[in-house]
Structure 1
């Protein structure tokens, strides 16, 4: 028994270690997007709502359930036969079946309205999916680039820390003033602030990914997407706006409004109720049977059904106008995002290709001069801080460019492998 218990315990430990190793593995962008879609309650709610509307559309094509009618009629309430059920020939025990007949056209148009609503819900679900993919990709890119910034800041801090023993030795040898050590400490403290901010950015991105995926994603891996250029030409992006999920949702809203107006156009068609009954009377009296018809009388159609139809037609026209506005808004959004991306791209390229190399050259020159005794320590430390600031500025510009690229890339939801 003890051996079996020990084996089970060891197996549990191994399984835990394997699970922990699997969880610690870096997450690729595609894995993160897939997990976000699986975790999203909004997408699940959208699918369930569409399924409910489809089921309601199937039900709407059917006739209402028949009704069972039973009771006692013509019970005397006065005279010698008061409250007696077998003395009066008019008193009868009645049972019957009633069926309401709604026209096939009315049922079909109601079903078409519900189907249009289901398509609208699915279109809104695609808009949710596009936003989810965009937010997830931005958080993933933020984490990847924030980790790079943290590594850069940590490396420069470590390089500066290695200056301490040399500086103390220089002070002891009399080749440097005592305040140079304090200057070095103050510079190092300022550089550590950059490390703290970089760690904060990493934690914020991890928190965002936890909210989107439900997973504690501490590290990301795999190739970065090619965010250094636009996903497509500007003209192609503007043409593709007709496939934007929010435009598609507005189109489905217009279709739903049109279906409602078609449904109200036949609202005046009368429904018919048919009742078949059998009536049993007291002994000595003949039983009876009958058929009853109930028909709606739309005598005031111009004041009721026509008004409802006119209102639905107006809503249909309103939905078309809103569709036009949404198309225009999204074309403007694409142009705005492209302008933001191009500006971020220009800033990133300038920081990376012009400013940062100059800062490195300046640092190398001041380092050589300091070693030769031709430059003071504060100038060298200021140059090192400037290199760190430029490195972080390049990273920040790259992050802004990547976020804008993701907003453009996932204007329309992408299918995942």
Structure 2
């Protein structure tokens, strides 16, 4: 019985353990899939698209008919006052009226509804693009932050070996007593640097967790190798979600303009009613048609048409300006990408090899008694910083390639 009670108590506690605690590290593509499937912003955007599509079903439909009920010709003075039977014209009336907007207005309403769907879908595509970009950058940042931290661990190991060498030299009297403190001083400096890199890892992990929905998000595998081709990117600019959103805005503005023009065409209504009188008199049926007369369009419809046309022109100019801005931003990002790649090559081919050679020479000089330990340790620290800096430059190149392809290309998870 006690075992059963314990199981009853522990079962809800075990069920409360988040599934993310058992999650495995994510590859680059898996992180993008998780973000796309779990992002609340995308689900909200999809709900907005569904709402717009549902509302479009009613666009361009005939308005609901109007039912009217009343009493006509009821006397309030004279001999038949307040009598329902002494006045032959008094009758109870019931009628119905059906408005018929002009066909151009109904077509414009349908066009506006379809344009609204296009705007909602374009906004969703922009949100999806931004989500994929931020997820990809967070994954790459975490990948390189962990590599930089691991690179610093190598220096920690070498300091441990150096501490043993210093202790042996102190025991033999070949080193001054203060030399025993120098590895600890360098280790403290490395600890400060490690704290910075650990914070970088935590921040990148928090960003990745935000987009993937995994509180213990981690990376697995290598980042993608993305080619940056300006000609291909320029050729595909028209399909970018940002420009498609501007195109949808142009379509919506045009639909509003057509709807304003349709107001100059008359609407009409058909009505019919049945009048019930005293049995001594005959009942009556009425049928009528009413038509709107837009006689004063210069002060009513025309100003609205001009306003909507101006809004449509504004939307077109924004579309043109948006494309020019994207091309300029692309060229700027490409320039940064070239610069970052050159800096990476300089680090790999020059800075890191020189720092490594200097550290080796200084340690050899220290071993031969020609250089003090502090200078040799500083060279070792400079080598570690050069290698960490090279990883940072590699991170910049990878981020550039991802940003360019995910912003100006059609990258899909």
Between 130-139 and 287-296, the greater mean CA deviation after superposition: 287-296
Corresponding residue of 2:354: 358
Q: Aligned to 1:144, what secondary structure does the other structure show?
A: helix
Q: Deviations over 1:264-294 (max 9, x none)?
A: 2222121112111111122422221111222
Q: In the alignment, does 2:109 pair up with 1:110?
A: yes
Give secondary structure in 2 for the equivalent of 1:301. Answer: coil
Following the alignment from structure 1 to structure 2, what is the Cα–Cα distance between the partners of residues 20 and 36?
14
Contact 2:209–2:217 (CA under 8 A) maintained in structure 1: no
Q: Are residue 88 (structure 1) and residue 87 (structure 2) matched?
A: yes
Check 1:83–1:164 CA distance in 2 against 1; reply closer, same or farther (3 A cut). Answer: farther
- Residue from 227, 241, 247 that aligns with 1:245: 241
CA deviation digits over 1:93-117, x for unaligned, max 9?
1111111112233212211111012
Whole-angstrom distance in 2 between the partners of 1:145 and 1:79: 99
Q: Which residue of 2 aligns with 1:263?
A: 259
SS of 1:60's equivalent in the other structure is: coil
Equivalents in 2 of 1:399, 1:123: separation in Å? Answer: 31
Q: What is aligned with 1:373?
A: 369
CA distance in 2, matches of 1:9, 1:374: 70
1:326 match:
322
Whole-Å separation in 1 of the counterparts to 2:349 and 2:79: 113
User: Could you list the per-position Cα deviations for residues 231-286 of structure 1 after superposition, in whole angstroms to 9, with x for gaps in the alignment?
Assistant: 23222222222222111111121122222222222221211121111111224222
User: Does structure 1 retain, via aligned residues, the 8 Å contact 2:35–2:211?
Assistant: yes
SS at match of 1:59: coil
- Which deviates further from its counterpart, 52-61 or 335-344? 52-61
Structure 1 residues 117-159: Cα deviation after superposition (integer angstroms, max 9, x where no partner): 2112212221211111111100000000000001111221232
Tell me what 2:405 maps to.
409
The answer to whether structure 1 residue 298 and structure 2 residue 297 are counterparts is no
The match for 1:199 is 198
Distance 1:83 1:203 in 2: 87
Please, which of 304, 307, 313 is the counterpart of residue 303 of structure 2? 307
Looking at structure 2, the residues matched to 134 and 18 of structure 1 have their Cα atoms a distance apart, in angstroms, of 27
1:214 maps to 2:210 = no
Shift of 1:413: 4.4
Instruction: Indicate the SS of the match to 1:410.
Output: helix
Q: Structure 2 length normalisation: TM-score?
A: 0.92
| Alpha-carbon distance in 2 for matches of 1:159, 1:218 | 31
Structure 1 counterpart SS, 2:57: helix
CA distance in 1, matches of 2:401, 2:321: 25
Q: Which residue of 1 aligns with 2:268?
A: 272
Shifted more, 190-199 versus 5-14: the winner is 5-14
- Distance in 2 between residues matched to 1:126 and 1:368, nearest whole Å: 60
Could you tell me which runs of 5 or more consecutive residues in structure 1 were left unpaired when the two chains were aligned: none
Contact residue 228 and residue 404 of structure 2 kept, 8 A: no
Range moving further from structure 2, 46-55 or 292-301? 46-55
SS at the partner of 1:83? coil
| 1:122 corresponds to | 121
Whether the 8 Å CA contact 2:208–2:217 is kept in 1: the answer is no
Distance 1:69 1:16, change over 3 A: closer
In the alignment, the residues of structure 1 paired with residue 272 and residue 18 of structure 2 have an alpha-carbon distance, to the nearest angstrom, of: 72
Contact 1:56 1:111 in 2 (8 A): no
Q: Does the 8 Å CA contact 1:363/1:387 hold for their aligned counterparts?
A: yes
For residues 28 and 414 of structure 1, the distance between their equivalents in structure 2, rounded to whole angstroms, comes to: 16
* 2:339 aligned residue: 343
Q: Distance in 1 between matches of 2:126 and 2:287?
A: 55
Residue aligning to 1:137:
136
Deviation string, structure 1 residues 346-373 (Cα, Å, up to 9, x no partner): 1111112211011111112222222232
Q: Secondary structure, in 3 states, of the residue corresponding to 1:383?
A: helix
The Cα RMSD (Å) is 2.4
Which residue is equivalent to 1:51?
50
Contact 2:267 2:292 survives alignment (8 Å): yes
Instruction: Please tell me whether residue 397 in structure 1 is matched to residue 393 in structure 2.
Output: yes
Deviation at 1:403, TM superposition (A): 1.6
Find the aligned partners of 1:158 and 1:17 in 2 and give their Cα distance.
37
Mapped contact 2:60–2:106 kept (Cα < 8 A): yes
